Amino acid sequence: MSQRNRVVVTGIGLRSPIGATPRELVDALQNNRTGVVKMPQWDAVENMRCRVAGVCPENTVDASRIGREFRRSMGRIAILAALATQDAIADAGLADDFIRSAACGISYGSTAGSSTEMELFLTKFFQTRNTAGLASSSYLKFMSHTCAANLGILFQCKGPLIASCTACTSGSQGVGFGFEAIREGRATAMLTGGAEENHLINAVVFDIMFATSKNFNDRPEATPRPFDRDRDGLVVGEGAGTLLLEEYEHAKKRGAHIHAEVLGYATNCDGSHLTSPSAEGTAAVMHAALADARVSSAQIGYINAHATATPAGDIAESTAVNRVFGDQTPISGLKGYTGHTLGACGAIESIATILMMNEGFIAPTRNLENPDPKLAPLRHVIGGAREQRFGVGMNNNFAFGGVNTSLIFGRCP
What does the pLDDT read at residue 404? Answer: 98
Question: Angle, nearest 10°, between helix axes 146-155 and 76-92?
Answer: 50
Residues 6+ apart with CB under 8 A from 406: 264, 265, 266, 267, 285, 286, 288, 289, 394, 395, 396, 397
Q: Cβ distance 283 to 320 under 8 Å?
A: yes
> Residue 3 domain-assigned?
no
Residues 6+ apart with CB under 8 A from 321: 282, 283, 286, 303, 305, 329, 331, 376, 378, 396
> Residue 104 domain-assigned?
yes
165 given a catalytic annotation: no
User: For residues 9 and 3, what is the distance between their CA atoms, to the nearest angstrom?
Assistant: 20
* Count of Cβ atoms closer than 10 Å to residue 110 Cβ: 32
Look up residue 186 and give its DSSP letter. S
> Which of 259, 340, 345, 380 is labelled catalytic?
340
> Which of 104, 168, 345, 412 is labelled catalytic?
168
User: For residues 155 and 162, what is the distance between their CA atoms, to the nearest angstrom?
Assistant: 15
- Helix (H), strand (E) at residue 196: strand 189-196
What does the pLDDT read at residue 2? Answer: 61
> Residue 219 domain-assigned?
yes
Query: b/e map of 32-63 (b: 16 or more CB within 10 Å)?
Result: bebbbbebeebeeeeebbbbbbbbbeeebbee
Q: Facing residues of 162 across strands?
A: 107
User: For residues 344 and 104, what is the distance between their CA atoms, to the nearest angstrom?
Assistant: 21
Q: Which of 79, 111, 71, 100 is nearest to 403 (CA)?
A: 111
What does the pLDDT read at residue 412? Answer: 83
306 given a catalytic annotation: yes
Residue 311 sits in a domain of what CATH number?
3.40.47.10
> Residue 2 domain-assigned?
no
> Residue 1 domain-assigned?
no
Q: Which of 41, 75, 34, 79 is nearest to 60 (CA)?
A: 79
Amino acid found at 409: F
Cα angle, residue 286 at apex, residues 280 and 364 outer, rounded to 5°: 105
Q: Which of 145, 16, 143, 17 is nearest to 87 (CA)?
A: 16
> Residue 282 domain-assigned?
yes
* Count of Cβ atoms closer than 10 Å to residue 65 Cβ: 12
168 given a catalytic annotation: yes
pLDDT, one tens digit for every residue, the chain (413 residues)? 467 999 999 999 999 999 999 999 999 999 999 999 999 999 999 999 999 999 999 999 999 999 999 999 999 999 999 999 999 999 999 999 999 999 999 999 999 999 999 999 999 999 999 999 999 999 999 999 999 999 999 999 999 999 999 999 999 999 999 999 999 999 999 999 999 999 999 999 999 999 999 999 999 999 999 999 999 999 999 999 999 999 999 999 999 999 999 999 999 999 999 998 999 999 999 999 999 999 999 999 999 999 999 999 999 999 999 999 999 999 999 999 999 999 999 999 999 999 999 999 999 999 999 999 999 999 999 999 999 999 999 999 999 999 999 999 999 87
By DSSP bridging, strand 189-196 and strand 260-269 are unpaired
> Which of 199, 250, 306, 380 is labelled catalytic?
306
> Residue 295 domain-assigned?
yes
User: For residues 92 and 189, what is the distance between their CA atoms, to the nearest angstrom?
Assistant: 11
> Residue 327 domain-assigned?
yes
Phi/psi for 125 (5° steps) reads -70, -50
By DSSP bridging, strand 330-333 and strand 239-247 are unpaired
Look up residue 268 and give its DSSP letter. E
Q: Cβ distance 364 to 382 under 8 Å?
A: yes
* Structural domain range at position 65: 8-410
Q: Total structural domains in the chain?
A: 1
Residues 6+ apart with CB under 8 A from 120: 138
